[in-house]
Chain A
Amino acid sequence: MGKTLAEKMLATHTEKGKASAGEIVDASIDLLMVHEVLGSRIIPILKEMGVKKIWDPTKVLVVNDHWAPASDTQSAEIHIRNRQFVKEQGITHFCDVNCGICHQVLPEMGLVKPGDLVIGSDSHSTTYGAFNAFSTGLAATDSALILATGKCWFRVPESMKIRIKGQLPEMVMSKDLILKIVSDLGVNGANYRSIEFHGPTVESMSVASRMTMCNMTVEAGAKCGLMMANDAVKEWVTTRNPSAQWTPVAPDKDAHYVADIDIDLDAEPLDPIVALPHSPANGKPVSEVEGLHVDQAFIGSCTNGRLEDLEIAARILKGRKVHQDVRLIITPASQETYVDALRAGYIDTFLSAGAVFTNSTCGACIGGHLGVLGPGEICISSTNRNFRGRMGHPDSKVYLASPATVAATAVKGVITDPRRLI
């Protein structure tokens, strides 16, 4: 029987070169990304394991991003530990607090290419599936084991195929599409599975839009979200890592899928979607919540803090003002995004509109700093999770939406369909 993307990608990383859904395989890792979890949890585990030297200091990326720059003495201590570890171990790839969010900086550094097996100590490591790589999140103990051995066991996931064709209407973004997909699947609709995205819509998508979709597959419980390499990805990888050798991976024609889903955006045009508290799978067309007052609007995170996200927000905010009852906070996904936005004039637009523009960090997304919500507050956010208490006080509420919907809402002070502001 033919092989899916997940099976093929895992197979090339096993000793026997084989992997079939349901089987447990031992695979060699191409790259491990760790962030603050390194200092807080992984280093103590490595000590307990008696590991003095890690398996390969050239295959690890360390990022200080969740509380960047440090928000308190504890995160400062974690950062100190990470810096020391990087030095002691001679780790090649290190991003300190001036780089940005792990899932954005890793691809920017050219550290993922088609066919790779990339693991991160963070659930949104599914993001790199956009680059035709097998990538998933694991936690501290598994990361420690990988640091020690370069290997990890995986249960080869069953795959679901989602084929998408048709155009996204103006002001409707890939975020709306993935919110709709996650809502249709449910929070555990893809638990333990790989989601393969196919079809012309995905084929013609920008790298940024693809990353948003793969990023959020984990909100349906998926182990990974995988895409074929399109031209944009090929160009990205060639520019960012010119010397690398790679071959795109495609599934076999007769590969087996546990589910087959077709989405036709021309036959059924997509509306902007808003996911109501407290679940990313609570997506509803924006019309159902239009007019709801918000206290804070947030654009940022590894889901939607990239240049195209800031571009659409700038288009909406140009010549307009953020509503007096709302604070709009914009946090770019990386320092590179920051510089690009600066050059493109977006930051000028944001500041003139009355927004707060911060350095790149996870910050508000995890309720860490730079935009934590107080009791009873309502936030519309371009992030990926609206669990109770995710962005601050347990009694705050988060509505997830695209950057366009967030920007339009910031202007009006109430949840607004961005198509009204074209």
Chain B
Amino acid sequence: MMSTSLKPVRGRAWLFGDNVDTDQIIQGRYLTLLDYSEMAKHAFEIPRPEFSRNVRKNDIVVAGNNFGGGSSREEAPRVLSQLGVGCVLAQSFARLFYRNAINIGLPVLMIPNVTHSVNDGMTLDVNIIKSAVIIKETGETLSGQPLSRMVLDILQAGGAVAWFRKVKESRK
């Protein structure tokens, strides 16, 4: 399990459009790969084949509406976190992707109009707890609704499994 502290994330933006479905993030035919590092080589293979080669630690995926629609596959947020993606910012998320990302400890923030202000490759400073983004190149600040207490708790623990173990320990 990848442990995610909720430190601010600074990274380069990778820009995507609306309705990026789970097959665009990771195609169904790779789901039998048991090794996530192998699978991650195919992340965003259809929309941005260069992604897995060029992405750097803490880079940020920025998308329009309804990011992650379609399959329940948890492999979608997993391959992103495997590649070191620091967080995902989107105008809105499909419900399963949103829940899965939090479960595996990948921060996801809903930021209205984010694709209007951010260009591909810009450097962003993201404060997860405050749900705020500063664009380095333009100095513009964007913000969204803060995450709920429960979601923050899970993210702070590093994901739902770590959170479960923490809760179990505390009951002993």
Contacts and interface: CB of A to CB of B under 8 A. Distances in A.
Interface of A: 24, 36-37, 40-41, 45, 48-50, 66-67, 72, 74-75, 77-78, 121-123, 125, 137-142, 144-145, 148, 153, 187-188, 191-192, 221, 223, 279, 366-368, 372, 385, 387-390, 392, 394
Contact of B103 (A122, A142, A148): A142
A217 to B, nearest CB: 12
Contacts of B29: 366-368, 372, 392
Interface of B: 1, 19, 21-24, 27-29, 31-34, 45-46, 65-66, 69-75, 92, 94-96, 99-100, 103-104, 150, 159-161, 164-165
A78 B32 contact: yes
B95 A77 contact: no
A389 B46 contact: yes
A72 B32 contact: yes
A188 B92 contact: yes
A191 B66 contact: yes
B35 to A, nearest CB: 10
A145 B24 contact: no
A133 to B, nearest CB: 18
Nearest to A190: B95
B19 A145 contact: no
Contacts of B92: 188, 191
A148 B95 CA distance: 23
Nearest to B28: A366
A153 B92 CA distance: 21
A139 B99 CA distance: 9
Contact of A123 (B46, B66, B72, B164): B72
A281 to B, nearest CB: 9
A141 B34 contact: no
Contacts, number: 112
Given A223-B95, A385-B23, A390-B23, 19 more contacts: A37-B73, A48-B1, A49-B165, A66-B31, A72-B32, A121-B72, A122-B72, A123-B70, A138-B72, A139-B100, A139-B103, A141-B104, A142-B160, A188-B92, A279-B19, A367-B28, A389-B23, A394-B27, A394-B46
Contacts of A389: 23-24, 27, 46
Contact of B160 (A37, A41, A145): A145
B34 A188 contact: no
B165 A188 contact: no
Contacts of A74: 32-34
Contact of A221 (B1, B94, B99, B150): B94
B66 A187 contact: yes
Contacts of A45: 161
A295 B162 CA distance: 48
A144 B103 CA distance: 11
Contact of A49 (B33, B66, B96, B164): B164
19 contacts: A36-B31, A41-B74, A41-B75, A49-B161, A77-B34, A123-B72, A125-B72, A138-B99, A139-B72, A141-B103, A142-B103, A144-B161, A188-B19, A221-B94, A372-B29, A387-B70, A389-B46, A394-B27, A394-B45
Contacts of B46: 388-389, 394
A72 B30 CA distance: 12
Contacts of A49: 161, 164-165
A142 B69 contact: no
Contacts of B65: 188
Nearest to A141: B103
Given A49-B161, A123-B72, A141 B100 contact: yes
A298 to B, nearest CB: 15
A139 B96 contact: yes
A75 B32 CA distance: 6
B94 A191 contact: yes
A139 B106 CA distance: 15
Tell which of B1, B27, B150 has the most Cβ of chain A within 10 Å: B27
Contacts of B31: 36, 40, 66
Closest 6 CB pairs of A and B: A139-B74, A141-B103, A74-B32, A188-B66, A387-B23, A123-B72
Nearest to A77: B34
A123 B94 CA distance: 12
Contacts of A368: 28-29
B108 to A, nearest CB: 14
Contacts of A142: 99, 103, 160
B89 to A, nearest CB: 17
A148 B163 CA distance: 14
Contacts of B72: 121-123, 125, 137-139
B18 to A, nearest CB: 9
A41 B36 CA distance: 10
Contacts of A77: 34
Contact of B24 (A24, A48, A139, A387): A387
A233 to B, nearest CB: 25
A40 to B, nearest CB: 6
A50 B165 CA distance: 9
A141 B70 contact: no
